[in-house]
Amino acid sequence: MSMPLPSIAEAGEALAARYRRIRRRSLDLCRPLAPEDMTVQSMPDASPAKWHLAHVTWFFERFVLQPNSPGYRIFNEAYDHLFNSYYYTVGQMHLRPQRGLISRPTVAEVMDYRNHVDHAMVPLCEAADDATRFLVTLGLHHEQQHQELLLTDIKHMLAQNPMFPAYDEAAAQASDTQTGLHWIGFPGGLQEIGAEAGDGFVFDNETPRHRVWLEEFELANRPVSHGEYQEFIEDGGYATADLWLSDGWSAVQSGDWRRPLYWQEDDQHLFTLGGIKAIDRDAPVCHLSYYEADAYARWAGARLPTEAEWEIAARQQPAGGNFAESGWFHPRGGDTPGLQQCFGDTWEWTASAYAPYPGFKPLAGSLGEYNGKFMCSQMVLRGGSCVSPGDHLRASYRNFFYPHQRWQFSGLRLARSVP
């Protein structure tokens, strides 16, 4: 099955203008960083900022320019090895845990690389046919994914510094208010989930649209807050084995987990992209693993929603929210009526394993490696976060991470079945 091709513009924006805007946004996110910040890799799951900037550029060079721009001059043949991420069908790559060892090319040389590729991409965007427009649009959504990873990796990197430096002093302002937690019911029955024809650009893992059977269910009106999660900690949640999945309890023991990632030992402060801040009890809790989200839900007498339940409920909600464009770079409490904060603030863990939809077919060729080969051993998250680009998300969007990972802005919303 082929992916639906985007129109020449998304939301009324010409492709070349969109290309310039998104590429400029990546550079804007790096402006608070020194060159020294941009070369550090704080753990194998993270990548240096310099690598992110180079990799998304490599994607355009390798998959758009080389097959579609006769006469294009490759900037540096060695970059095809250095900045390939996981596309084995186009060649071998530098090992992911060793990306922080690449001191050369320098940050300045990576910027030259970006300029070189942009100089060739803009006229290609202006004259692109439908197939090329799809590749460019895929590349732009890919770059927006890396903009989010850029911020999460920067946060992890800065958190390793005993000075706890801020990325942006103005980030992570406290919430004004928060609504109480209550339940909202949704009917069961035969439903359809997945991207619909005419939705515009979607990733292949959001297709095909298909039918699912749902029993009647309820969702909490908002995500779980820091204050509510603190009650779980104080009640011995991290010391009560029967709350945890077996692998989760092993992770708690081996990792000596006692609180969410970035919380300080006093359980009153946490590290944010704005530096050390007092914990905002009204804001959604984040930086939880799937195991922690699942244990909390069990402690609360509830469960995590399936991704089908989440999508059916979220499809009825407006897509606005606290995204990266707000500059807060941290979840905030909300006070809107109904089902709130489905989009932005925190990714929400679901109870669903990341697997192909019935009838799924990946993109043809090397781009089939983008999503399909990761459909094993990971769990689905929905909704986006406070560091997600706002125009990148939709109700059918499927994110996925391994259940032990917690450096992403991942939280939870409670669900329960109706007897």
51-98 pLDDT, tens digit each: 999 999 999 999 999 999 999 999 999 999 999 999 999 999 999 999
For residue 27, pLDDT beyond 50: yes
Domain boundary among 94, 127, 159: 159
**Residue 8 pLDDT level (bands cut at 50, 70, 90):** very low
Section 339-361 average pLDDT: 97
**108 and 252 housed in the same domain:** no
**258 and 303 housed in the same domain:** yes
**Residue 409 pLDDT level (bands cut at 50, 70, 90):** very high
pLDDT digits (tens, 9 = 90+) for 154-169: 999 999 999 999 999 9
% of the chain exceeding 90 in pLDDT = 90
Residue 178 placed within a domain: no
**110 and 13 housed in the same domain:** yes
Q: Could you tell me if 284 and 333 are in contact, meaning their C-beta atoms sit under 8 angstroms apart?
A: yes
Name, in order, each residue with C-beta under 8 angstroms of 73's C-beta and a sequence gap of 6 or more.
Answer: none
% of the chain exceeding 70 in pLDDT = 97
For residue 32, pLDDT beyond 90: yes
Q: What is the CATH number of the domain that holds 305?
A: 3.90.1580.10
Closest alpha carbon to 186 in 301, 273, 306, 360: 306
**259 and 344 housed in the same domain:** yes
**216 and 153 housed in the same domain:** no
Residue 21 placed within a domain: yes
Residue 169 placed within a domain: no
pLDDT of 274: 97
249-271 b/e (C-beta count within 10 Å ≥ 16 → b): bebbeeeebebbbbbeeeeeebb
Residue 224 placed within a domain: yes
Report the alpha-carbon distance of residue 283 to residue 228 in Å, rounded. Answer: 10
For residue 17, pLDDT beyond 80: yes
**137 and 210 housed in the same domain:** no
Average pLDDT, the chain: 94
pLDDT of 12: 56
pLDDT of 155: 98
Report the alpha-carbon distance of residue 287 to residue 289 in Å, rounded. Answer: 7
pLDDT of 4: 32
- Which of 7-16, 23-32, 195-204 has the highest average model confidence (pLDDT)? 23-32
pLDDT of 2: 27
Section 109-131 average pLDDT: 97
Q: Minimum mean pLDDT among 123-127, 176-180, 223-227, 299-303: which range? A: 176-180
Range of the domain at 205: 183-417
For residue 216, pLDDT beyond 50: yes
Report the alpha-carbon distance of residue 156 to residue 149 in Å, rounded. Answer: 10
**Residue 339 pLDDT level (bands cut at 50, 70, 90):** very high
**270 and 121 housed in the same domain:** no
For residue 320, pLDDT beyond 90: no
For residue 6, pLDDT beyond 80: no
pLDDT digits (tens, 9 = 90+) for 278-307: 999 999 999 999 999 999 999 999 999 999
Section 263-288 average pLDDT: 97
**47 and 90 housed in the same domain:** yes
Structure tokens at 72: 């294009």
Residue 4 placed within a domain: no
Name, in order, each residue with C-beta under 8 angstroms of 342's C-beta and a sequence gap of 6 or more.
Answer: 310, 313, 314, 317, 321, 383, 395
pLDDT of 173: 83
* Number of domain units in the chain: 2
**119 and 237 housed in the same domain:** no
Domain boundary among 104, 125, 159: 159
Q: Could you tell me if 284 and 341 are in contact, meaning their C-beta atoms sit under 8 angstroms apart?
A: yes
**210 and 124 housed in the same domain:** no
**Residue 334 pLDDT level (bands cut at 50, 70, 90):** confident
For residue 3, pLDDT beyond 70: no
**234 and 338 housed in the same domain:** yes
